[in-house]
Structures are given as structure tokens and as C-alpha cells.
Structure 1
Amino acid sequence: MRLSWASRITILRILLIVPFVSCMLKINDTEQLMRVAMRHAATVIFLVMAFSDALDGYLARRNKQVTKLGAFLDPVADKLLIASACLLLISQRGHVEGVLLPPTVVVLIIGKDLLLIIGFLIVYFTTSQVFVAPVLIGKIANNLQLIMVGAILIAPEVYSFFPGWIWVLRVLWWSAAGTAILVTLIYIRNGSHYIEEYEQGSVSREA
């Protein structure tokens, strides 16, 4: 089967995570020039991936090429990117100078994704069906996380003319954490309702 352009872009986004991580691991190098160059490179790669997130969805809808593969790969790419970025931003080697993402925020964001994966598996093994029902708040949460990471990456430049940038970052990362909690609760509710409806339907068919 020939891959659509939307799926190709999504796969490219997944592949770009490797050079992104590689650059992030060098942003605290001993040489100042290397630190700045690697952070700028990581920022550019991140922006390309963030833009591709919007582009692949647009192409899939415009060309009417929404596929099961694309519906699976797109959230996987998002989760891999956000998880790798968050883990790097709280690490000694990958954090941006002057900014350290609170571990609580990272736990809530990554914990949300882990719970959603567990929930997906529970629904699948209970109903033998794949249940993927995106909600608007989920997209908002994802966009907030992307903006948060991008804002942290450019923080050293912004600090030079706007010292209050740290307050913007705090609003962003706690908003991202809050929406992650909300998304988790909504998906738990939706998944529970889906299982209940499936079981009620099974009982009706048997009767």
C-alpha cells in the first residue's frame, strides 16, 4: 500500500526525534559556542516537527486521506516528541540554562500518556475493538505542551530583553499539566462508557 503524504510527514516527524535528542544532549557542553549552536539546532528541529504536526493533519483532511495508520502514527509521534523533550528538559545534560521544568509537570504529562495507553489496551482486550475518539481538549493539551517546550528552548534569548519570561513559562507548564489531568479524566470517562455500551449490546444480542 502506498503511503499518503500525510503519513510520510508523520513518519518523518518520528525520525526527526533522533537528531532533536542528539542536539539536546549537547546543549550543556563545556564550550559556549557549542551550547548555543546545539540549542538553536534543537529549536529549529523542534519547530519543524511542531509545524509538521499541523501539516499532516491538514493534508489528510484536504486530500481525504485519513487512514487508520495515520490515526495511529500521529498521536504516537506527538507522545514520543513531548515525552523525550520533557525528560530532557529536567535532566542535567538536556535542560536549558536558567530554566528547569518541574518534575511534577513532567510526571503529569507523561503519566497522562501512559494511562491513555493502558486505557486503550483495556478497551481493546475487553471489546476486541480499536477505540480512538479524539477530543478537542486533547488537541489543546498537545498544543500547550508544544508551545511550552518551544518557549523553554528560546528562553535564554527572551530573558535578555524580558526578564519576566519565567512567569510566562510557569503559566504555560502548569496549564499544560492541568489540561493533561483534564484530558485523562475525560478519556477515562469516554472509555468506561464505551465498554458499558459494548457490554450492554452484547447482552442484548445474546438475549
Structure 2
Amino acid sequence: MNLANRITLARIFLVPVVMFFLLVRYNIGTFSIGSLTMTYNELIAALVFILAASTDGLDGYIARKKKIVTNLGKFLDPLADKLLVSAALISLVEMQRLEAWIAIVIISREFAVTGLRLVAAAEGQVIAASALGKLKTWVQIVAITAVMIRNFPFGFFGIPFDELATWAMVIITIYSGYDYFAKNRNVIQYS
């Protein structure tokens, strides 16, 4: 297994770590910055989430630079992204920090686009990740991080960045899903 695929697998293995620190009932302590109070568990979860998310571009860069792009990597990379984002969303719903409908919309879009890719693959076509799809992933990561860290530091200035980022996440997720289906409607029409 090459380095790029190992990095992708590391991202997958970090998913339960993020969930553990978000959902564990044993709190290792809290700290306050001004009016913001956060648990160390939440901080650790956010840092691990950021670390895992930052490997997304790294694995692809290494694979292309060293010319070690593999079918396994093409499969694992989007899977790792979807697992990380879905796990974080579901955990935030469980914590009552995110409305369930938001997680349902985002996860449903991921299933729908994956289904489209599977239909295309059955017909010998490959639907590559679009620039809009990559932007969607990064907007999701920013929004999820903002919710995890309780809108720090924007909350001190009365800026509802976490809410704005969440709405941006929903809008770009829906639009990028529409874009995939609109650009690949021939896959559905002739299936």
C-alpha cells in the first residue's frame, strides 16, 4: 500500500476518534475564554477533525506528484470524506448542536451522488470530482468546525459565523448535487 492510500486510511481511522471525543459522556474538563465555555473533549474532537480533514488534499497531491494514483485510492478518498463529514454531522445532531434535517439533506446528497457514480461506473464511465464538489467538501469542513468549536472566535464579536457557514454548507451541498446530476443526466437517461 502506497503512502497516499495510507494517509487516506489514517483519515478513516480518525473518524471514530472524532466521534469518541464528541460523544463520550466522561468530560475531561472545561475551559472558558470570555463568555465561551467549551469542554476539552470538544476541543480535542475539533482538532482531530481538522487534522483528518487536512489530509484530504495531501493524499491526492502525493498520489499525483509521485504518480501512484490507484483504483483503491480513487475509492477510499471520497469514502473517507463522506465518513468523516457524516460522522461529525450525526454526532452534532446527537449533541443537539445541529438540526437533524441539515444532516439528512447533506448525507442524502452524498448517497445520491455516489449512486450516480455507481450507475456511471456500471456503464464504463467515470464521474470525476468537480471543482464545485471539492468546494462543497471544504465548506462542509469549515461549517462543521465552526459548530464544533461553538463559533469561536466570531461569537465574541456577535458574528453568527457558525450559522452562516451552516447555511452556506446546505446551499452549496444541494447545488453541487444538482450540478452533478445536470451535467451527467445522460447517465440516468440511458440506464
TM (normalized to structure 2)?
Answer: 0.85
Unaligned runs of 5+ in 2: 32-37
Corresponding residue for 1:86? 89
C-alpha change, 1:39 and 1:188, in structure 2 (3 Å) is same
**Higher strand share goes to which structure?**
2
Corresponding residue for 1:106? 103
Corresponding residue for 1:161? 156
Corresponding residue for 2:35? none
Distance in 2 separating the partners of 1:192 and 1:136: 18
Unaligned runs of 5+ in 1: 200-207
CA shift digits 1:133-185 (9 cap, x unpaired): 211000000000001111112226436633x24x2112111111111111111
The SS at the match of 2:138 is helix
- Aligned partner (choices 114, 119, 122) of residue 122 of structure 1: 119
State the one-letter code of the partner of 2:80: A
- Aligned partner (choices 111, 122, 127) of residue 132 of structure 1: 127
Q: Retained in 1: the 8 A contact 2:93–2:100?
A: yes
State the one-letter code of the partner of 2:99: P
Corresponding residue for 1:75? 78
Distance in 2 separating the partners of 1:185 and 1:168: 25
Q: Confirm whether residue 172 of structure 1 aligns to residue 170 of structure 2.
A: no
CA shift digits 1:65-89 (9 cap, x unpaired): 2222111111100000000101111
Distance in 2 separating the partners of 1:108 and 1:190: 20
Alignment of 1:1-207 (within 5 A): 3-26=1-24, 29=26, 32-33=29-30, 36-91=39-94, 94-95=95-96, 100-125=97-122, 127=123, 129=124, 131-155=126-150, 157-158=152-153, 161-162=156-157, 164-165=158-159, 167-194=160-187
Report the CA distance between 1:108 and its aligned residue.
1.7
State the one-letter code of the partner of 2:116: G
Q: Retained in 2: the 8 A contact 1:24–1:42?
A: yes
State the one-letter code of the partner of 1:182: Y
Report the CA distance between 1:191 and its aligned residue.
2.9
Report the CA distance between 1:115 and its aligned residue.
0.8
> Once superposed, what is the RMSD of the aligned Cα atoms?
2.4
Q: Percent identity?
A: 28
The SS at the match of 2:53 is helix
CA shift digits 1:101-126 (9 cap, x unpaired): 2333222211101111222233344x
How many residues get paired? 185
Distance in 2 separating the partners of 1:146 and 1:4: 26
Report the CA distance between 1:10 and its aligned residue.
0.1
CA shift digits 1:175-200 (9 cap, x unpaired): 1111111111121123322466x78x
